[in-house]
Amino acid sequence: MTATKKLYIKTYGCQMNVYDSERMSEALGGAGYETTDSPDGADMILLNTCHIREKAAEKVYSELGRFKRLKAENPELKIGVAGCVAQAEGEEIMRRQPLVDLVVGPQSYHRLPEMEARTRGGERAIDTDFPEEDKFEKLRSRPKARRGPAAFLTVQEGCDKFCAFCVVPYTRGAEMSRPVDRVMSEARDLVERGVREVTLLGQNVNAYHGQGPTGEYSLARLIRTLSDIDGLERIRFTTSHPNDMTDDLIAAHGECEKLMPYLHLPVQSGSDRILKRMNRSHTAESYLRLIERIRAARPDILISGDFIVGFPEETDADFQATMDLIEAVHYGQAFSFKYSTRPGTPAAERAQVDPDVATDRLHRLQALISRQQRAVQDSMVGREVSVLFEKPGRLPGQMVGKSDHLHAVHVADSNASVGEISRVRIEDSGPNSLAGVIL
């Protein structure tokens, strides 16, 4: 009987990397691996990396350095780098870090079992191709073990937008949508295993255009089709581009009961001059009019966004335009970052904003966003919300879950179970969560 090997995966970055890590774990499960929560004692370590933030590659090398001791203690330990840094830095990783046994890009991880076999034979393996075969179809089926009540489901990958600050088109490739039947099959499988909520993932998920039984499906049509699955109670999607927010998708927010009232719609800047320099292909005004249309379709929707401050050549007036847009939209949640150069992107070659100025702007923007987020949370007190309970809380009898607006909610002295959806009256708003009672 072959002994089970232990696999440790550390995941960086977005939800798509979380999904990819799950699939890599499943792929290697066929090669006799089971996951472990610690690198100590592992037979294989995989770093699933993200290339969005500054010095991402250097952070990977720093992390790899921590594993030298483990490699010395166990020469049979295999170490791999996956994800977007692997795609961008593949040969360089192999050259700079001899302890790395394999490097695999985000479009090739279905080949991990054969790569692992090659490393067991003494080879070093690298695969950063954009293969023609569908990696999702090549992966072994998800095991039928029970899952938590919420899951990610990738439906679209890649990006054709070529924003001036972003490496995704280079690391993830061109936009590709999974066929409808394969998405539906995976969704049904998840529901059979206990999932009640799925978040549809894509770099530009609302650019989805998968082939279905009666032609091409938009994201809205896919959502409506998924809504027919018995047992699937909630649907979300992320991340979207304003230019792909179509009429049918806006209408779906008002018409599809299972589509949750939460939308992450990054704008990045409120300055038309900076948006043009970013190659975003929309204006602040067109974004604001889009928000108006979405809220007309679903008045209670919570809007989330992304912002980059200190983009090359950003002036005080440009930054103020961003602050004005935030005031106009009133976000329920947002993610904000100080611009960091990504080698090979157009913006990296432009005049950079003074780092201290950028830091000051980031702090001011985050303070405004925090006030808005807290105001939205406080406004929930006294309201009834639907909560999907995901896990027990820290206190006896406490349960924690997510509201339809994606707020964390906890209830005390509850008889609720994981996977249950209950109506909850919100009674208190804390810094990062809401508290309520089940009705």
Q: Does the annotation list 256 as a binding residue?
A: no
Query: Any known ligand binding at 84?
Result: yes
Looking at residue 268, what DSSP letter applies?
Answer: B
- Is 166 annotated in a binding site? The answer is yes
User: Which are the contacts of 44, defined by CB distance < 8 A and separation ≥ 6?
Assistant: 5, 6, 7, 8, 28, 33, 77, 78, 79, 80, 116
Phi, psi of 44, deg, nearest 5 = -145, 140
Please give the full DSSP string across 9-43, using - where no structure is assigned: EEE-SSHHHHHHHHHHHHHHHTTTEEE-S-STT-S
| DSSP track, 293-338 | HHHHH-TTPEEEEEEEES-TT--HHHHHHHHHHHHHH--SEEEEEE
Q: Is 14 annotated as a binding residue?
A: yes
Is 159 annotated to bind ligand?
yes
CB 60 within 8 A of CB 54: no
Contact indicator for 68, 39 with CB cutoff of 8 Å = no
Q: Please give the sequence-ordered ranges of beta strands (E in DSSP) within 208-316, or none if there are none.
A: 209-212, 215-218, 234-238, 262-264, 302-309
Side-chain half-sphere exposure of 408, counting CA atoms within 13 A: 12
- For 142, list phi and psi in degrees, rounded to 5: -60, 135
163 is an annotated ligand-binding site residue: yes
- Binding site as annotated, residues: 14, 50, 84, 159, 163, 166
- Binding site as annotated, residues for [4Fe-4S] cluster: 14, 50, 84, 159, 163, 166
